[in-house]
Amino acid sequence: MPYSTKVMEHFQNPRNVGEIENPDGVGEIGNPVCGDIMKLYIRVKDNRVVDAKFKTFGCGAAIATSSMITELVKNKTLEEALKISRQTVAEALDGLPANKMHCSNLAADALHKAIEDYKNKKKKPESVSKRDE
């Protein structure tokens, strides 16, 4: 098998699968290379990511990187979280096969998008967002 033991471990027992109800931020990304999809949910408290959950339609690497990034991001400040890149995730998994590096983009991009989503929501005045609902 081309995957590291760590990848297979996360693939078999993915952490933090699911959705967060009323999340503070959601990031959804489609992989332009193979067409796979990841959805990442975050809960933010006092500028820190206190919870993260994911749902992924993708290969072994996509599932393992999704699982790993939800672990990595927990209890990080937003600034720290934004620094998590695809390399960070790949390294934490003891590497990915070369043709699977693009899958780790999925996880990193989804995280960055979720944080962006959180920031956008926060920017909006309370009354506006209420009206939107």
Partner 1 sequence: MIRKIYLDHSATTPVHPEVFEAMIPFYKERFGNASSIHLFGREAKVALDESREKVAGFLNTDPLEIYFTSGGTESDNLAIKGTAFANRNKGKHIITSSIEHHAILESCKFLQKEGFEVNYLQVDKYGLVNPDELRKQIRKDTILISIMHANNEMGTIEPVEELSRIARETGIYFHTDAVQSIGKIQIDVQKLGVDLLSLSGHKFYGPKGVGVLYIRRGVRLTPLSHGGHHEKARRAGTENIPGIVGLAKAIEIAQRDMEKEESRIRLLSDRFFDKVMQRIPDVFMNGHPERRVPNILNLSFKGVEGESIILNLDLKGIAVASGSACTSGSLEPSHVLSAMGVPPDLAQSSIRFSFGRSNTEEDVDYVAEVLPEIISKLRKMSPIYEQSKS
Residue 59 or 78 with smaller CB distance to ligand FES: 59
The amino acid at 32: P
* Cα–Cα distance for residue pair 32/7, rounded to 1 Å: 22
Q: Site for ligand FES (CB under 6 A): which residue of 27, 58, 81, 105? A: 58
Number of Cβ within 10 Å of residue 14's Cβ equals 16
* Helix-then-strand count for the chain, H and E: 6, 3
Q: Site for ligand FES (CB under 6 A): which residue of 31, 66, 67, 70? A: 31
Q: Show the tokens assigned to 92.
A: 């934490």
* Cα–Cα distance for residue pair 51/40, rounded to 1 Å: 11
Residue 39 binds to ligand FES (criterion: CB under 6 A): no
Phi first, then psi, for residue 117 (nearest 5°) are -60, -45
Shortest Cβ distance from residue 37 to partner 1 (Å)?
5
Residue 62 binds to partner 1 (criterion: CB under 8 A): yes
Q: Site for partner 1 (CB under 8 A): which residue of 5, 12, 77, 87? A: 12
Residues binding partner 1 (CB under 8 A): 1, 3, 8, 11-12, 14, 17-18, 28, 33-39, 55-60, 62-63, 99, 102-103
